[in-house]
Amino acid sequence: MERFLGENFEVKSKNSSEEALQRWRNLCSVVKNPKRRFRHTANLSKREEAASMRKTNQEKFRIAVLVSKAALQFIGGPPTQTPGEYFVPDEVKAAGFQICAKELGSIVEGHDIKKLNSHGGVNGVAEKLSASVTNGLPADETLLRKRQEIYGINEFAEAEARSFWVFVMESLQDMTLMILGICAFVSLIVGIAMEGWPKGAHDGLGIVASILLVVFVTATSDYRQSLQFRDLDKEKKKITIHVTRSGYRQKMSIYKLLPGDIIHLGIGDQVPADGLFVSGFSVLIDESSLTGESEPVMVSADNPFLLSGTKVQDGSCKMMVTTVGMRTQWGKLLATLTQGGDDETPLQVKLNGVATIIGKIGLFFAIITFAVLVNGLLTRKWHEGSYLSWSGEEALQMLEYFAVAVTIVVVAVPEGLPLAVTLSLAFAMKKMMNDKALVRHLAACETMGSATSICSDKTGTLTTNHMTVVKSCICMKVKEVNGPVEASSFCAELPDSAVKLLLQSIFNNTGGEVVTNKEGKREILGSPTETALLEFGLSLGGDFHAERLASNLVKVEPFNSTKKRMGVVLELPDGGLRAHSKGASEIVLAACDKVVNSNGEVVPLDEKSLDHLKVTIDEFASEALRTLCLAYMDMENGCSPDNPIPVVGYTCIGIVGIKDPVRPGVKESVAICRSAGITVRMVTGDNINTAKAIARECGILTDDGIAIEGPDFREKKLEELHEIIPKIQVMARSSPLDKHTLVRHLRTTFKEVVAVTGDGTNDAPALHEADIGLAMGIAGTEVAKESADVIILDDNFSTIVTVAKWGRSVYINIQKFVQFQLTVNIVALVVNFSSACLTGNAPLTAVQLLWVNMIMDTLGALALATEPPTDELMKRTPVGRHGNFISNVMWRNILGQSFYQFIVIWILQLKGSLIFGLEDSDSLTLNTIIFNSFVFCQLFNEISSRNMEEINVLKGILDNYVFVAVISCTVLFQFIIVEYLGTFANTAPLSFSQWFFCIWIGFLGMPIAAILKLVRV
């Protein structure tokens, strides 16, 4: 079976080929309810249509943009003729605005610089929107509501949520239930005609009631799942961005943006609405999502158009929102992006394969059973010589045989298997949300359970991301500066010229900002590293705003993980130009040829001074401090905005050591991973000594592990890489390409299942390459989150371990359910088939089999697929990439339990009347005992299936209220069916001793299951 599943029902956890997705669909021939079975699988035909439509839209938009740009070049600058006069619609005027949404849309979408200039440029448009490019929109609620009425909201059209009755209708489309419904109808007609009302209607009504019960229980379960997915979709849409309103910078949901809002964009942000560039530096925009063009576009005052859905590849800027929601091109495209649904998960596909195999076997047995039963009836009539005359009773008997055969198909085709995966994943995803992990793709949840390797960032994941400057080496003097008092005393020891240079570097060469919030308190915005440096500058007595006003920013090259440095060029008050650089200490220091000495003088950087600075960097790093070097250069030859900032010839101002403490619980989490067979590797851009110190503190770096730097890793030959990669535990000074290469080798060469964390734009390729991409929810950019499968909302490594535990729980829970369901399948098939062949009738009627089907399908999935994870799960070795899903342990339990149940039922059929002292005419009571014993065998087997290997299956049973509720409800309904619904369910009330016997027979399955677990396989 595993070989067949591997060849035909194997898909990747992500990026599966269309061929692989289509292949398994073609093999699923025995499907009772395609609507329900394939609800959570991709609609390939619709996906193809959507892709074609999307491509057409992209091409149209690309051509429009190119035509607009060509026209602009042809015109060659300012418009030579005045554009047609624009008339403001009355309702827009009445609301206090001077430009309508349609005009704004045509300016930005058409890249129409002529039209923009005719409205007075960006400032003119801001004025017509009653906004300010400095202070943004006024925060008055009445004005905001008016603006919303005129220009719309920044929300996109969504598919309407499906109601409960839609799920009821889908459940009714089960082919076997339809056939049983027809049988019930015929039974009603014939029964009433023969025996009158109500006696003749009992059999038919019993089947109808069973069908309705199955339909409503199934629909309720499916509807609850849909609600869970809807809640998760809401969480995915919680995206915030920095906005200036009423002069205050604040975080705001992108769905609250309105035209006129001033938003702040940085590397990795997705542009949330159409807008116009206000100010910024080196802004490169990736427009491939809209136009299909891979070449990034430079956005500046000359080309100020920013489009919703595009991504900031480099630089930072302020943008004024002009068009929102469905008026944007992205809003129109977005509808096609989600059509076709997500790819199905590997487990869903594998279980579709299992369901298909068993379904075909079940169909074969059903046909044989029907043939044997009909043959028995025809043979009897032949011997009696009455084969030409048929009574109503014999017609009903024939109908009952057909209903039994159809019901065997109902029970035999485990339609619930693939859906149990979805149920378990939905349950796990909802619970993981509470544990600070947002799952974006279903497959990631189950794949994480097979993970054998985690490549984790250091900053913010293993550490707290609360950074402070605790040591510095300024003017060659090393000093602890842990706190404002120490910093101010250190400042007093430094020459004024050096302090001035230091503050100029800190406050100008930064991606952060010091602002005053609504409460009037000072607030520092920016990354943790920028925040730490700005706090240090303020503690030295610096004034952020005064320093920024003292000089003019000419050029900015923002920090990125490839260059590992940031640079700015300032125009000084005296008219000269000065470049400031900061970044990875050894990289910036290597660009320096001079240094500021203890007297504040600029002197050549000789070997002695260089050694002193290198030793200082190593000392700081060995204390697990993040080191940054600050440097400057006076640019006597000037600087062209088009040329990059020089990379050599700098003067070193000093080194700062930033403390970023290890998160509490990380060491314990790493130890849990090690005991679970998961290798944790640290991949960081930091100094190797800092990385090693943190790795040792976390328990990642061991005596036999290797710590390597990215440049060294890059130079290794393929044979050397194959030798060292399994031993690598720390990679420092790594580039995104190094991370991608490491992940690719681990996956392809060493067949590991790899989880990777990332927060930056450049991490997207590694997140995409990995089996499970984990993006940081706090520090992560929107580009990283979009490429990820799971978002770690608290950026904590311990949460990653929790995700792994939930992943294992999903995998184990599905295995438990499969074990339980296959046992029921085998016993129900064999019992009904053998009984039909040997005795000429089936002991379990259609109504009884429908009830058994509900126990094992919907209720069984609810009970077993929602078991919460235990710490014991992290003491097992991971399944890995090619583990057998239906393991030998499962086959042992399935066959052992099936054999016991079959023997019990068979003995009851042959000797039941003798055991209970029943008359030959009292076959109804015997069949009820068989049915009752069979159900209790399944109930106790369900309890035994809670743990496939441990004997103590009752441990923690009361913690799972769903399991307890399902078992309790099943017992209650079984009692009602046997004692009070005999007319409809073909049962007879049982005595106390008979009830005790049935429960005892079921209970005996538990010690037998325990004995089976002692058998090693």
Q: How far apart are the first and last CA of the chain?
A: 18
Distance, in Å, from the CA atom of 107 to the CA atom of 109, rounded to the nearest integer, reads 6
- How many whole angstroms from its chain centre is CA 235? 11
Distance, in Å, from the CA atom of 590 to the CA atom of 567, rounded to the nearest integer, reads 15
Distance, in Å, from the CA atom of 378 to the CA atom of 372, rounded to the nearest integer, reads 10
What does the DSSP 8-state code read for residue 855?
Answer: I
Residue 985 tokens, joined: 């369910």
Cα torsion angle, 109, 110, 111, 115, sign: negative
Tokens 């000419």 identify what position?
554
Strand partners, 963: none
DSSP reduced 3-state for 129: coil
Distance, in Å, from the CA atom of 104 to the CA atom of 61, rounded to the nearest integer, reads 17
Q: Which of 112, 269, 286, 457 is catalytic?
A: 457
Element housing 474 (H / E)? strand 468-474
Distance, in Å, from the CA atom of 158 to the CA atom of 229, rounded to the nearest integer, reads 14
Residue 559 tokens, joined: 């920090």
User: 10 Å Cβ neighbour count for 124?
Assistant: 15
User: 10 Å Cβ neighbour count for 839?
Assistant: 12
Residue 841 tokens, joined: 């009738």
Reference 517, options 144, 140, 247, 131; nearest CA is: 247
Strand partners, 453: 679, 754
Q: Tell me whether residue 457 is one of the annotated catalytic residues.
A: yes
Distance, in Å, from the CA atom of 931 to the CA atom of 828, rounded to the nearest integer, reads 11
What is the rounded radius of gyration, in angstroms, for the C-alpha atoms of the chain? 36
Instruction: Give DSSP secondary structure letters for 273-324.
Output: SEEEEEEEEEEEEE-HHHH---S-EEESSSS-EE-TT-EEEEEEEEEEEEE-
DSSP reduced 3-state for 685: coil
Cα torsion angle, 777, 779, 783, 788, sign: negative
What does the DSSP 8-state code read for residue 919?
Answer: -
Residue 646 tokens, joined: 């020089």
Reference 691, options 678, 676, 674, 708; nearest CA is: 708
Identify whether the C-beta of residue 1002 lies closer than 8 Å to the C-beta of residue 937: yes
Residue 838 tokens, joined: 């040997």
Residue 377 tokens, joined: 């009836």
Identify whether the C-beta of residue 850 lies closer than 8 Å to the C-beta of residue 214: yes
DSSP reduced 3-state for 202: helix
Element housing 631 (H / E)? strand 625-635
Reference 184, options 390, 395, 399, 393; nearest CA is: 399
Identify whether the C-beta of residue 985 lies closer than 8 Å to the C-beta of residue 847: yes
Tokens 């869970």 identify what position?
228
Instruction: Give DSSP secondary structure letters for 707-745.
Output: EEEHHHHHH--HHHHHHHGGGEEEEES--HHHHHHHHHH
Catalytic positions are 457
